[in-house]
Amino acid sequence: MTIVIVEDELKTLNHICSAAERIDPDYSVVGRARNGREGMAVIVTLKPDLVITDIRMPVMDGLEMIRSLEGRLPETRFIILSGHAEFEYARQALQMRTADYLLKPVSLEELTASLGRARDSIIAEKVLKAQLPSSVPDREILGLFLWSPEARREFFRGALRDRIPEETRLLLMVFSHDRDMPEDERRLFVERSAELVSLVRGSFYPAIQGGKQRFVFLCALPPETDPGITAARVFDLSRRKCMQPMAAYWTIIGGIDSLDRDVDEGFSRIRWSLSYPAGTFLTAELTGELSAESYVYPAALEREAAAALAAGNISKTQSALEKFAAGLREGFFHYNDIQSAMVRMGEALLYAVRIYNFTIYEELKPEEITGSIKRCSFVSTFEDLVQSIITRLEAGAAGTGDSGNPLVNRVTAIIRNEYMEDLSLDSLADRLKVSPEYLSSLVSKHLGTSFISCLTQCRLEHAKALLASGNGRISEIALACGYRDAGYFCKVFKKNLGISPGEFIRSL
């Protein structure tokens, strides 16, 4: 590390020079000066890594010298010395590109620690610059800035600032996609957006976060270009080229210095997409000081939908959910209220699925569905997620449709019609004139489950419907569903559904 020392006191100057070179042989004092003006000439000529300078000196003081060098040697760092513990000196020093501020007399320990910190900072910046050659394309620089660790962000901010042409207007657009986009769809969207911006002679800087779900576009546009029209064209492209709707927000920003905060603000404001119809391009005006209506959660509708789903009544479930979604769209509600309502309804439906069919509940991966609901940008996305649950339930229990094998179809028909009887694999094999082993392998191959699992699932579906109707005691319902022992029925019910028959009734 090369060092220049600027100090008017000869004794202090000699002490720091000899001490610095004793501390570490890699520290090399390459120049000296006795005032700020001499210091400027030496520093500009030698371009050192570090300058150690006093503040109070004749002709030109240290702070004025540093101000005069701003912009000329961006890689040089400064350690400031002062014989006065004055707040104003410290305040001014901290506002500059200084590595440290030390009070005289400086001990060897203090100097050693300060030089070490300066060296680490200089090495870190050189490493970063080695990692970012000027050949990095424009389409990567914004992402390096936004998604890098905090320690590296300022470096990339400077690199991005160097690329932004002067006399431009900075248009910031953020997009959020509810579902993962296919690679070709994502690439096409970015490429076409860049083409649209190039038509107005603007510079385009894209970034993608979270793999595929969040986009940031920074456009440096000529002064004569209307940023609103440019933003609208890109948004229209997103609606035409993307299979799923994207939430979007645009604004004009003041510069690169606050870009990361502006992006965070954009993704915060984009959450208002839940409150607007799908396809609304959000702006600062649409997401500013808004007066949202008070939302009252329809608890009765939740109970209706969940009870219908737990009993296997798909049409009644869909009707209740249509009313729920319509209610979210009827007024202008805060996005937090809408999201909370969707999560609450989604969790109630998943619990109902757990009651209706525990196997399907596990297949649905409820935690992933709840996470997807929390990320929804539109009510329509929530409806799609709920419909995927209903579609899976409509497929019904394994083996209730056409299996593709006539013998297995006869097995499922017997189960549907005679589930209340004393059925067994051996008795069915005898009726169908095949061996139990052959029938068992055939059922497993075509239904993906065992005979006893298929029979149990069918019996429990009928049991839930009878329990939900409120007609009959548990022992009577057990008998009606093929279980002669009510205790065994309760054990099977809880093992498969996670709750007892009594808990099932109380949950309705």
Could you give the CA distance from residue 415 to residue 483 in angstroms, rounded to a whole number?
14
At the second CATH level, the architecture of 406-507 is: Orthogonal Bundle (1.10)
Residues 2-130: name the CATH superfamily: Response regulator (3.40.50.2300)
The separation between CA 59 and the C-alpha centre of its own chain, rounded to angstroms, equals 56
Instruction: Give CATH 3.40.50.2300 domain extents, the chain.
Output: 2-130
Residue ranges of the chain assigned to CATH 3.30.70.270: 138-282
Query: Residue 50: which pLDDT band, with cuts at 50, 70 and 90?
Result: very high
Lowest mean pLDDT among 63-72, 94-103, 155-164, 250-259: 94-103
Percentage of the residues of the chain whose pLDDT score is greater than 90: 26
Selection from 456, 445, 482 nearest residue 359 by Cα: 456
Give the lowest-confidence range in 110-119, 300-309, 319-328. Answer: 110-119
Task: Measure CA 94 to chain center.
Answer: 35
- By the 8 A CB rule, do 281 and 235 touch? yes
Could you name the CATH architecture of 138-282?
2-Layer Sandwich (3.30)
**CA 227/CA 170 separation, integer angstroms:** 8
**pLDDT of 399 over the 50 cut:** no
Lowest-confidence range among 56-70, 118-132, 349-363, 405-419?
Answer: 118-132
How far is the C-alpha of 489 from the C-alpha of 475, rounded, in Å?
8
- pLDDT above 90 for 5: yes
**Residue pLDDT, tens place only, 336-355:** 999 999 999 999 999 888 87
Convert the pLDDT of each residue in 168-178 to its tens digit.
Answer: 889 999 988 87
Q: What is the mean pLDDT of residues 176-182?
A: 73
Tell me where in the chain the CATH 1.10.10.60 domain(s) lie. 406-507
pLDDT tens-digit profile of 252-274?
A: 998 888 898 999 999 999 999 99
